[in-house]
Amino acid sequence: MNNEIPEIALKKNAWLASQVDVAYPAKESLLGRDVYQANLAKKSYQLLPSNQAPSDIEEIHKVDFHKLTVLFSLNQASVYESEFDKTHILEFLSQIILSDEHQLYIGTSGPDVVASAIVTVEGDDVLISDIVNQAGQGTIGFAQQLASLLGSSITSNTKLWVES
């Protein structure tokens, strides 16, 4: 584990926080951003270990339209304990404007969304963050499965970070 926050994580966090930098943000979205940012203090970063087996999520989908953004947000909100936090995280994350640099993914098992994460790519750095895996498998395993999906984007020079 690493308590130092890599630059790529700072950029991802700034991008997410900027999602509510609009003329008339909803109060609930602002509260959701505050909940999200308060939870960042609990996060740590490490290079993705290569000795971890990938999880066995049936299908992984890149989020590329609003309905999938909502499904991503619902899965993310499910790990928060209080209803207040769940409600406001859902509102905050449902407003995400999709970006090529910060891609959202969901994992499904049958009709159910069981995993989600954000993949941020910048130069030779890749960050897999905001990992939720409800399929009874670890978050690192889902990160490994996402890394496999990225395939040719990852070279021997790539630093593959994971947030936990």
CATH number at residue 136: 3.40.630
Looking at the domain assignment, is residue 124 inside a domain? yes
User: Residue 50 falls within a domain, yes or no?
Assistant: yes
Please tell me the pTM assigned to this model: 0.92
Contacts of 11 (CB under 8 A, 6+ apart): 120, 122
Residue with tokens 């404007």: 97
Going by their DSSP bridges, the two strands 59-62 and 45-47 should be labelled as unpaired
What residue numbers bound the domain in which 131 lies?
7-163
Question: Does 2 reside within a domain?
Answer: no
Q: What percent of the chain has pLDDT over 90?
A: 66
Amino acid at 148: S
126 domain residue, yes or no: yes
Tell me the three state secondary structure of residue 113. Answer: strand
The arithmetic mean of pLDDT across residues 55-80, rounded, is 93
Contact 63, 69 (CB under 8 A): yes
Specify the DSSP class assigned to residue 32: H
* Residues 13, 63: Cα–Cα separation, whole Å: 18
Domain annotation covers residue 23:
yes
The DSSP secondary-structure symbol of 2 reads: B
What does the pLDDT average to over 141-150? 88
Residue predicted with more confidence, 23 or 69? 69
55 against 87, higher pLDDT: 87
- pLDDT for 79 equals 93
Nearest to 104 by CA among 121, 89, 116: 116
In a domain, 30, yes or no: yes
For the cut 90, the answer to whether the pLDDT of residue 3 exceeds it is no
Q: What is the mean pLDDT of residues 20-32?
A: 92
Q: Which is more confident, 86 or 52? A: 86
φ/ψ of 148, rounded to 5, equals -65, -40
Asked if 96 and 19 touch (Cβ cutoff 8 Å), the reply is yes
Number of structural domains (the chain) is 1
89-142 pLDDT tens trace:
999 999 899 999 999 999 999 999 999 999 999 988 999 999 998 866 678 888
